[in-house]
């Protein structure tokens, strides 16, 4: 049987400084199989007429020239940067770039092939491609949300911002695991791999300006299982970036000013409210119930009788439960957490230490004894906390490796 081909998809905008290292990592892969690399260099075409953006456009042209001369392996270049070839109107951003990349690959790939989504500043070990191939060929999985670990730099401000952001992300994931949510993945665009057939089945990626990785994984999860395990992680860069409208870069920029309102540490009890509703699904299948989460869903969908049609369409409990989770998806969960957190007014640091005590009841950390404000912690102390959460997360990811 022929081994699946790997198709590497990388969006790039003003990335010559970082992309070089990503391409070197690709060249160093200990991988005997076949792979292709497609890079979409992109920006809105109107930026050519903006004096503040011309330098970025010219940098993209230099990037294209560099890629055209690259000799270590072939690269397919999708030029959406040269004057007259950039994005027009509202269709632009990383989501549009990923859609363009994915659509290009879908036209030439077989359904059993594998697409690996990267970013232009992502690093990974020499066994990464082989680990992805083995995960797909040795297990019945169609999608992987790959473990990630941001590289730290010599910029202390950037390090503090990314460590705080990771604490937000990993706190979220650990809690989602604990309540057994189907949407317990972490959405990182440079840490996704999928079968081409799975991508075809969901109709490709939706070109959101930002957050396209979150919506992509959510579409995959409504189709079937999303694995969170891979033996090799990826290492995204740590830097302040405004290339996307929300996500890691903008979160770091806001966080650097002390504003983490969009990325709070959600208290463990908020997730438990969702868990309590999950536990009532068999009862909800038989009759209407009231919980804070159910009331929230009815308000979001603007339907006072949300569940009777679901019972009619899904006539067994397993089907009804699947239909419930399609309604109460990852987006609705996140919206509920945000809305409830604002009403209750939990303090981020208090929530974090409560959660820390819950997930690490036997771990003693000297600097944590007095439960200081997160802002008061040293960078190396934030790094220790990040690593504890990362290790716990990897244990949970590893526990489903045969899932």
Do residues 333 and 175 touch, judged by C-beta distance below 8 A?
A: no
**Residue 156 within a domain:** no
Residue 218 pLDDT > 90 = yes
User: Do 24 and 106 reside in the same domain of the chain?
Assistant: yes
Residue 401 pLDDT > 70 = no
What mean pLDDT comes out for the span 6-23? 95
Do residues 209 and 125 touch, judged by C-beta distance below 8 A?
A: no
User: Do 272 and 192 reside in the same domain of the chain?
Assistant: no
Residue 1 pLDDT > 90 = no
Residue 350 pLDDT > 90 = yes
User: Residue 341's CB: how many other CB atoms inside 10 A?
Assistant: 18
**Residue 206: which pLDDT band, with cuts at 50, 70 and 90?**
confident
User: Do 276 and 384 reside in the same domain of the chain?
Assistant: yes
**Residue 163 within a domain:** no
**Residue 399 within a domain:** no
Residue 111 pLDDT > 50 = yes
Residue 209 pLDDT > 90 = no
User: Do 227 and 278 reside in the same domain of the chain?
Assistant: no
Residue 274 pLDDT > 80 = yes
The domain total for the chain is 2
CATH code for position 47: 3.90.550.10
User: Do 207 and 88 reside in the same domain of the chain?
Assistant: yes
User: Do 41 and 133 reside in the same domain of the chain?
Assistant: yes
**Residue 41 within a domain:** yes
User: Do 280 and 348 reside in the same domain of the chain?
Assistant: yes
Q: Which residue is associated with the tokens 């260099």?
A: 41
User: Which residue range is the domain that position 190 belongs to?
Assistant: 6-148+186-232
Mean pLDDT (the chain) is: 94
**Residue 259 within a domain:** no
Q: Which residue is associated with the tokens 């919206």?
A: 335
User: Do 127 and 272 reside in the same domain of the chain?
Assistant: no
Residue 402 pLDDT > 60 = no
* CA 199 to the chain's CA centroid: 16
Q: How far is CA 396 from CA 127, 193, 274, in A?
A: 22, 19, 20
User: What per-residue confidence (pLDDT) applies to 138?
Assistant: 87
- CA 272 to CA 178: how far, in whole Å? 9
User: Do 194 and 321 reside in the same domain of the chain?
Assistant: no
User: What per-residue confidence (pLDDT) applies to 244?
Assistant: 56
The full DSSP string for 77-142 is EEEE-STTTSB-TT--SHHHHHHHHHHHHHTT--TT-EEEE--TTEEE-TTHHHHHHHHHHHS--S
User: Do 101 and 48 reside in the same domain of the chain?
Assistant: yes
First to last CA, the chain: 24
Residue 246 pLDDT > 80 = no
Sign of the torsion formed by the C-alpha atoms of 335, 163, 158 and 129: negative
User: Do 364 and 275 reside in the same domain of the chain?
Assistant: yes
**Residue 340 within a domain:** yes
- CA 57 to CA 364: how far, in whole Å? 51
Tell me which H or E stretch contains 365.
Answer: none
Do residues 9 and 108 touch, judged by C-beta distance below 8 A?
A: no
Instruction: Out of 1-10, 253-262, 357-366, pick the least confident.
Output: 253-262
- Tell me the two tokens of residue 271: 């997730």
**Residue 159 within a domain:** no
pTM of this prediction?
A: 0.94
User: Do 322 and 207 reside in the same domain of the chain?
Assistant: no
- In tens, the pLDDT along 124-163 reads 999 999 999 999 998 889 999 999 999 999 999 999 999 9
Do residues 202 and 219 touch, judged by C-beta distance below 8 A?
A: yes
**Residue 256 within a domain:** no
């Amino acid at each position: 049987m022929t081994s699946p081909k790997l198709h590497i998809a990388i969006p790039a905008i003003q990335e010559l400084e970082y992309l070089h290292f990503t391409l070197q990592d690709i060249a160093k892969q200990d991988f005997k199989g076949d792979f292709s690399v497609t890079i979409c260099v992109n920006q809105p075409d109107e930026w050519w007429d903006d004096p503040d953006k011309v330098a970025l456009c010219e940098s993209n042209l230099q990037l294209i020239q560099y890629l055209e001369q690259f000799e270590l392996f072939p690269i397919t270049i999708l030029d959406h940067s040269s004057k007259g070839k950039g994005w027009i109107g509202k269709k632009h951003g990383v989501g549009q770039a990923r859609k363009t990349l994915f659509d290009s690959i879908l036209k030439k790939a077989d359904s059993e092939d594998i697409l690996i989504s990267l970013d232009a500043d992502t690093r990974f070990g020499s066994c990464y491609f082989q680990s992805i191939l083995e995960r797909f060929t040795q297990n019945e999985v169609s999608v992987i949300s790959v473990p990630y670990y941001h590289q730290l730099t010599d910029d202390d401000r950037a390090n503090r911002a990314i460590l705080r952001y990771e604490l937000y992300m990993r706190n979220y994931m650990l809690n989602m695991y604990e309540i057994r949510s189907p949407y317990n993945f972490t959405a990182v665009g440079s840490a996704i791999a999928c079968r081409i057939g799975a991508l075809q089945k969901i109709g490709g990626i939706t070109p959101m300006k930002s957050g396209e990785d979150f919506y992509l994984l959510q579409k995959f999860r409504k189709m079937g299982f999303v694995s969170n395990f891979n033996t090799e992680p990826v290492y995204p860069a740590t830097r302040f970036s405004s290339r996307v409208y929300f996500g890691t870069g903008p979160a770091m920029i806001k966080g650097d000013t002390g504003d983490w309102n969009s990325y709070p540490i959600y208290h463990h009890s908020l997730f438990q409210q969702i868990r309590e509703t999950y536990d009532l699904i068999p009862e909800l299948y038989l009759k209407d119930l009231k919980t804070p989460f159910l009331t929230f869903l009815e308000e979001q969908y603007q339907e006072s009788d949300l569940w009777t049609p679901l019972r009619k369409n899904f006539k067994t409990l397993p089907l009804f439960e699947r239909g419930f989770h399609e309604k109460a998806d990852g987006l609705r969960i996140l919206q509920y957490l945000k809305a409830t957190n604002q009403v209750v007014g939990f303090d981020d640091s208090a929530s974090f230490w409560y959660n820390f005590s819950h997930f690490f009841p036997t771990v003693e950390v000297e600097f944590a004894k007095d439960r200081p404000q997160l802002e008061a912690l040293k960078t190396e102390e934030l790094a220790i906390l990040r690593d504890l959460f990362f290790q716990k997360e990897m244990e949970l990811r590893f526990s489903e490796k045969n899932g």
